[in-house]
Amino acid sequence: MPPDTTESEGTIFMGERTVRGSMPGDAGGPLGGGDRSFSGIRTLFRLPHPPDLESARGADFAAVGLPFDTGTSYRPGARFGPAAIREISSLVRPYNTVLDVSIADHLEGVDLGDAPVVSGNTPASLERMTISVAAVTEMGILPVGLGGDHTVTLAMLRAVAAQHGPVALLQFDSHPDTWDTLYGESYNHGTPFRRAIDEGLIRPERSVQLGLRGSMLNRDVLDYSRDAGFTMVPAEELLGRPAAEIAALVSQTVRDSPVYVTFDIDFLDPAFAPGTGTPEIGGPTTAQALAYLRALDFAGVVGMDCVEVLPAFDVSGITALAAATVIGEMLGLVVLGRRAGG
């Protein structure tokens, strides 16, 4: 032990400490990782990885990796997104200085590892991911999905809606993802919310799509989203309005509905998130995205995900870091929402 530290009762094993005492300068627990954030087995925020689902009972939230990218239309590789998010998430510490809340003081979380998928078989993968997430929601635990391409959100919504009924959707995304088919296929990362409407999983009249932009083959998908009832805020409008106004619009739209939050990392301009499959220029900076998230003021979040991280195209891990930070911010909002709700 270095001479400038005091004796600790903690025991060191493979870079982790079984905490029985204290060690100066060490956070000593999950959501931060202390001064050994670079070592040990990687889980989201260094959360515990229980040996089985029953051991997770009583947790407030559970991370579930969804390593699926068969639904990708351009650049594959998002199957490795969950691993990349976990790898860098040790940099996300528990105390949010802007929201003035320490997540670890209010929420107990676990990382349940990855749902089983069948690469190349979308229906089978959706079924397996849905079963895995449903096992979490049935225990009253908030599921936190780590994508994977945006197809995986359909599995998340199936599990969440089975528990809570149709939900309001808050979607941070450069694409509406309400195409009927893409390349002749009905189930891929461009169609999850069209299928979610078909299956009665979401309430489009209570749902908001933020950051839409980019060229398209035609305007049909935008017309469909608008006609279905989505409140759509294109990037050009979003970037011209204060975060507080956007937050008020979201609150007014979702009202008292249970809310599912999905954050496609391509919501960010590719200058800030290059590691994604279908980048679109002209989007928000990471600072602007954090401002939109931190301004939100509503309770009732029943599920969330961050998707479309593609490590092979990432630069210095900045896309994965953005994703991990976004998840931390969303969990901070869960704390504030529960506090406001009593």
**Domains in the chain: boundaries:** 43-340
Radius of gyration of the chain (CA): 20
Check whether 23 has a pLDDT greater than 50.
Answer: no
Predicted local distance difference test score (pLDDT) of residue 30 = 52
Phi-psi region of 15 (alpha: psi -120 to 50; beta: other; left: phi over 0): left
**For residues 297-316, average pLDDT:** 96
> What angle do helix axes 286-295 and 243-254 make, rounded to 10 degrees?
50
pLDDT band at 28, cuts 50/70/90?
very low
pLDDT at 36: 58
Give yes or no for a contact between 224 and 195, defined as CB atoms under 8 angstroms apart.
no
The full DSSP string for 200-239 is T-B-GGG-EEEEE-S--S-SHHHHHHHHHT-EEEEHHHHT
Q: Which helix (H) or strand (E) holds 142?
A: strand 142-147
| Domain topology for 43-340 | Arginase; Chain A (3.40.800)
Lowest mean pLDDT among 15-19, 278-282, 287-291, 296-300: 15-19
What's the distance, Cα to Cα, between the start and end of the chain in Å?
A: 45
pTM of the model: 0.91
Mean pLDDT, to the nearest integer, of 85-101?
94
∠ CA(192), CA(75), CA(180), 5° rounding? 25
pLDDT tens string 181-231:
998 999 999 999 999 999 999 999 999 999 999 999 899 999 999 999 999
- pLDDT digit string (tens) for 272-283? 999 999 999 999
How far is the C-alpha of 226 from the C-alpha of 336, rounded, in Å?
Answer: 31
